């Protein structure tokens, strides 16, 4: 089951596990405190070391002075060999705690007095001074005094000072850290946290939350600016969000909303067994509205439709416009399929109310594909596709109705999908075959032409009728390929006919509307004919009225080019489509093929006879050759011939057959009346 959170996963993840970053406060502390500590310690240590050396120097000097002064004191006792006095003088020196030992050497170098204060295993220095004795008569060097003294006191003092400095330094640093933390928290951390918190909350639900910062410093200004930006951004985001999920024209939720809606459908349902009705609505011939009244009117039309849908549904229902003329209505809870169907019809009814466009009454028509599924259905997210299957069915089979998705439709859908996928293989493996049906001169009963009809011999599904696979070919964009395939085959057939001594027999191929719109088709036809050595005048191109209507200018251009090449143009299925007599005049037509719907009841139906008669009269006036399609009985042929129809086509003469069979058939009855002697194996393509 998906949820909103899942939808916003990347964002959520970014929130939940942001890259592990150190706070600015910490970074500041880490950047400054070690430097502070090191500088402080180094400075203290430097001062202390300098003091240490100064003390060492002072001690050296003091000891030297002591040695000199004692040397003076000792000179006389030493000279006068009062060694006990010398010793007592030395003993006095020992009051100085830095002095470890003192020795006095006489002029022979022998220590005559030595006092040791304390045994010292530490480094000791020595200072030595001569002892000079003078009296009125003599001045001699009586000996030397040597003082051994220790720096231990200075070391200990310096050590304890350094320790003290270290402790003081650490305490100072600690105090600094605490002060920095506190102040940084107050001045930086809190405002940042407030702003961050506002950002996090905004990210969670997209709404604007102000950062609660009261101070007037830079952070206060930042927060103020942030709040202002939040306000601006959130409005824009709201609008963007709405625009992203809504159709700007009708204000209805759009396709993206549908995706989100589908996600929440099952969650919002009361129970897994609740039935959800999904109506896929497609307006019929909305293009005609656009073409007829212009796009502004088309938009207005769509707005009307959306309003009607809104009015027709209950509050719990959900209406969306997917784009173009497609709408979706979801009823989250229906009691059964029949209720859903009734609801869909209700929608159709609502849509079908007439609308005024440019002071003209237009009656909208729509088809609905309805799919009903349980809320617990795991394929709930496929509802649009399923409904689309039903809609396809409705559109193709019964426009303006509701088609309910059932097993058969799904089967059809799967078959259609299979065939669509097999089209490429069909071309590659030569599964498409071109059969031919003859057109006969109703007077002379001679074969004047053949109509090329496409067949698909599918390895699994057998021979598939054009009515089934042509829409698939068109939808899959293979129309041009098929047309060229047929054209090439037809040209080869013309070669065969010429070879068989019947060069007068021409071949007609059906030209789909898309090819009519393609300017290059005429050139291609010319090239193909030239390549295969066939005269373009041996070809006839059959078009339908629909293809003329859809793109009048292009169609006219293409038709003129084809005519210039020598090909003739036949208007197929005349009388069934948007038949407009104006077309007969506007386009360069050579033939008109009367739809078999008008032929089948002849001669019994007087109405049909009247219609055919009118058509024949019109054709005669316009100089068009008439072809009656679907002639199955001789009296039909006779009746239409009497009404002025010159050519006929139908089972009475020949069913569509592969070329070989047609050639044999032509061989057998070269110039007489031909009657159908083989059963129909497939519905006629050109019906």
Partner 1 sequence: MTGLLRVLLVVGMACGVLLPCGGAVAADAKRLNIVFVSPGKSGEVYWDMVAQAMQAAGRKLDAHVEVLTSERNYRTMQELGLGVLARVDKPDFLILSNEESAAVTVLEAAEAAGVKTLLLSNTLIGDDAARLGPPRRTLKTWLGDITTDLQTAGARMANALIDAARAGKWQSPDGKIHILGIGGDEITPASIARNAGLKLAVQAAPDVVVDRMLFANWTQSEAEQLTANYLSWASRKGIRPAGIWAGNDPMALGAINAAATAGLAPGQDIQVVGLNWSEDALRAIGANRLLLTDGGHFLLGGWSIVLLRDYADGCDFAAASPHVEVKTSEITRTNLASVGDLIRTRAFDRIDFAGFRAKAGRCGHYDFSIDALISSLAPLEGAAD
Nearer to partner 1, 81 or 236 (CB): 81
By beta-carbon proximity to partner 1, the closer residue of 137 and 335 is 137
Residues that bind partner 1 in the complex, under the rule CB under 8 A? 79-84, 106-108, 110, 112
User: Smallest Cα–Cα separation from 324: which of 350, 305, 351?
Assistant: 305
Provide the minimum distance between the beta carbon of 102 and partner 1 in the complex, in angstroms, as a whole number.
19
Q: Which is nearer to partner 1, 140 or 171 (CB)?
A: 140
Angle, helices 606-622/634-642, rounded to nearest 10 degrees: 50
Alpha-carbon distance 596 to 573, whole Å?
8
- How crowded is residue 680: how many other Cβ atoms within 10 Å of its Cβ? 11
Q: For residue 194, what are the contacts with CB-CB under 8 A and spacing of at least 6?
A: 211, 212, 213, 223
Q: How far is the CB of 132 from partner 1 (least distance, A)?
A: 16
Would you say 82 or 161 has its CB closer to partner 1? 82
Q: How far is the CB of 147 from partner 1 (least distance, A)?
A: 22
The distance of closest approach from Cβ of residue 79 to partner 1 in the complex, given in angstroms and rounded to an integer, is: 7
Concatenated DSSP letters for 188-205?
IIHHHHHHHHHHHHHHHH
Q: How far apart are CA 168 and CA 146, in angstroms?
A: 41
**How far apart, in whole angstroms, are the C-alpha atoms of residue 379 and residue 385?**
10
Minimum distance, C-beta of residue 110 to partner 1, in the bound complex (Å): 6
What does the DSSP assignment read for 259-328?
HHHHHHHHHHSSSTT-EEEEEEEEETTHHHHHHHH-HHHHHHHHHHHHHHHHHHS-TT-EEEEEETTEEE
Query: Which CB, 136 or 270, lies closer to partner 1?
Result: 136
Q: Nearest distance from residue 43's CB to partner 1, in Å?
A: 57
Q: In this structure, are residues 645 and 442 in contact, taking their beta carbons and an 8 Å threshold?
A: yes
According to DSSP, the β-strands at 318-323 and 568-574 are: unpaired
Angle between helices 24-79 and 83-93 (to 10 degrees): 160
Nearer to partner 1, 140 or 196 (CB): 140
User: Cβ(401)–Cβ(367) under 8 Å?
Assistant: yes
**Residue with smaller CB distance to partner 1, 112 or 177:** 112
Least gap, CB of 135 to partner 1 (angstroms): 9
CB of residue 158 vs partner 1: minimum separation in angstroms?
43
Q: Is 131 helix (H, G, I), strand (E, B) or coil?
A: strand
Nearer to partner 1 among residue 76 and residue 590 (C-beta): 76
Q: Which one, 85 or 185, has the nearer CB to partner 1?
A: 85
Q: At its nearest, how many Å lie between partner 1 and the CB of residue 128? A: 19
Phi, psi dihedrals of residue 492, rounded to the nearest 5°: -65, -40
Q: Do 470 and 396 contact (CB within 8 A), yes or no?
A: no
Residue partners of 671: CB distance under 8 A and separation at least 6? 446
As measured in angstroms, the least distance from the Cβ of 94 to partner 1 is 22
Residue closer to partner 1 (CB basis): 79 or 598: 79
The nearest distance, CB 106 to partner 1, in angstroms, is 6
Alpha helices in 566-600 (DSSP H): 581-586
- Which residue lies nearer to partner 1 by CB, 33 or 112? 112
Contact 257, 246 (CB under 8 A): yes
Residue 164 and residue 160: Cα distance in Å, rounded?
A: 6
């Amino acid at each position: 089951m998906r949820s909103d959170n899942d939808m916003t996963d990347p964002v959520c993840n970014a929130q939940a596990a942001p890259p592990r970053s150190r706070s600015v406060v910490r970074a500041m502390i880490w950047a400054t405190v070690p430097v502070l500590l090191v500088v402080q310690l180094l400075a203290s240590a430097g001062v202390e070391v300098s003091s240490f050396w100064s003390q060492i120097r002072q001690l050296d000097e003091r000891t030297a002075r002591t040695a000199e002064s004692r040397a003076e004191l000792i000179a006389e006792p030493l000279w006068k060999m009062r060694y006990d006095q010398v010793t007592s003088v030395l003993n006095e020196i020992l009051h100085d705690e830095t002095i470890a030992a003192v020795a006095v050497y006489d002029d022979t170098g022998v220590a005559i007095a030595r006092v040791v204060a304390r045994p010292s295993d530490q480094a000791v220095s020595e200072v030595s001074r001569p002892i000079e004795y003078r009296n009125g008569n003599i001045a001699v060097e009586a000996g030397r005094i040597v003082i051994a003294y220790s720096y231990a006191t200075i070391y200990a003092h310096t050590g304890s000072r350094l320790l003290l400095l270290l402790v003081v330094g650490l305490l100072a640093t600690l105090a600094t850290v605490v002060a920095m933390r506190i102040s940084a928290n107050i001045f930086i951390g809190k405002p940042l946290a407030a702003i961050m918190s506002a950002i996090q909350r905004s990210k969670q639900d997209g709404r604007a939350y102000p950062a609660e910062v009261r101070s007037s410093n830079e952070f206060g200004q930042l927060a103020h600016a942030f709040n202002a930006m939040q306000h601006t951004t959130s409005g824009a985001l709201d609008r963007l969000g709405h625009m992203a999920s809504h159709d700007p024209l009708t204000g209805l939720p759009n396709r993206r909303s549908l995706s989100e809606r589908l996600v929440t459908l099952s969650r919002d349902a009361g129970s897994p067994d609740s039935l959800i009705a999904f109506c896929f609505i497609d307006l019929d011939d909305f293009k005609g509205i656009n073409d007829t009244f212009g796009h502004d009117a088309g938009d207005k039309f769509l707005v009307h439709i959306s309003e009607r849908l809104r009015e027709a549904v209950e509050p719990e229902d959900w209406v969306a416009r997917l784009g173009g003329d497609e709408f979706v209505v979801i009823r989250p809870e229906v009691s059964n399929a029949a209720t859903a169907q009734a609801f869909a019809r209700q929608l159709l009814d609502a849509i079908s109310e007439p609308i005024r466009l440019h002071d003209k009454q237009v009656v909208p028509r729509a088809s609905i594909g309805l799919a009903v599924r349980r809320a617990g259905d795991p394929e709930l997210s496929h509802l649009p596709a399923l409904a689309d299957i039903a809609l396809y069915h409705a559109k193709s089979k019964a426009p303006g109705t509701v088609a309910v998705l059932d097993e058969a439709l799904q089967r059809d859908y799967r078959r259609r999908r299979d065939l669509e996928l097999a089209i490429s293989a069909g071309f590659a493996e030569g599964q498409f075959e071109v059969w031919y049906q003859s057109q006969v001169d109703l007077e002379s009963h001679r074969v004047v032409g053949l109509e090329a009809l496409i067949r698909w011999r599918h390895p699994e599904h057998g021979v598939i009728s054009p009515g089934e696979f042509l829409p698939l070919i068109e939808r899959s964009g293979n129309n041009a390929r098929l047309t060229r395939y047929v054209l090439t085959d037809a040209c080869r057939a013309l070669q065969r006919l010429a070879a068989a001594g019947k060069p007068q027999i021409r071949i007609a191929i059906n030209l789909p509307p898309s090819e009519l719109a393609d300017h290059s088709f005429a050139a291609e036809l010319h090239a193909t004919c030239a390549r295969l050595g066939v005269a373009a005048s041996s070809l006839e191109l059959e078009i339908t009225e629909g293809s003329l209507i859809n793109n009048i200018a292009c169609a006219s251009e293409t038709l003129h080019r084809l005519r210039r090449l020598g090909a003739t143009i036949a208007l197929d299925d005349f009388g069934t489509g948007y038949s407009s007599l104006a077309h007969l005049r506007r386009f360069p037509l050579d033939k008109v093929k009367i739809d078999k719907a008008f032929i089948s009841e002849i001669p019994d139906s007087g109405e049909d006879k009247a219609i055919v008669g009118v058509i024949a009269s019109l054709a005669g006036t316009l100089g068009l050759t008439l072809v009656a399609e679907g002639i199955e009985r001789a009296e039909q042929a006779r009746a239409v011939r009497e009404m002025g129809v010159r050519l006929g086509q139908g089972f009475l003469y020949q069913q569509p057959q592969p070329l070989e069979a047609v050639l044999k058939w032509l061989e057998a009855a070269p110039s007489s009346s031909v009657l159908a002697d083989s059963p129909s194996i497939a519905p006629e393509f050109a019906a």
